[in-house]
Amino acid sequence: MSPRALLSILLALAATVTPATGAAQPQSQISAGITRLERRYPTHDSYVNAVTQAATDLEQQRLLLEPDVQAYIQAAAQSTVGR
């Protein structure tokens, strides 16, 4: 599996479960327009920090190259998550 695929899977999984319980998102929050990403990362900085940490960890494990790490961080910084 490529490092990009691994990071994508990790971020997708993080966005679909509640951290402590692994529970699905309550219908009341779905109805209120609160996405799983917004629930997990209430601010843009918290999202960028999480992506930065995940990408850096993968780089230290030699699963991502530095240019890829920077690409993920840049994409997170430009995203609308938490805004």
- Establish how many alpha carbons lie within 13 A of residue 33's alpha carbon, considering only the half-sphere containing its beta carbon: 1
For the entire predicted model, the pTM comes to 0.62
User: What's the pLDDT score for residue 66?
Assistant: 93
Segment holding 60, helix H or strand E: helix 44-60
d(CA 71, CA 50): 14
Mean pLDDT by 10 residues, the chain (83 residues): 64 51 55 67 90 89 88 87 83
Q: Using alpha carbons, list the distances in angstroms from residue 14 to 57, 67, 74, 76.
A: 15, 23, 19, 14
User: What's the pLDDT score for residue 16?
Assistant: 44
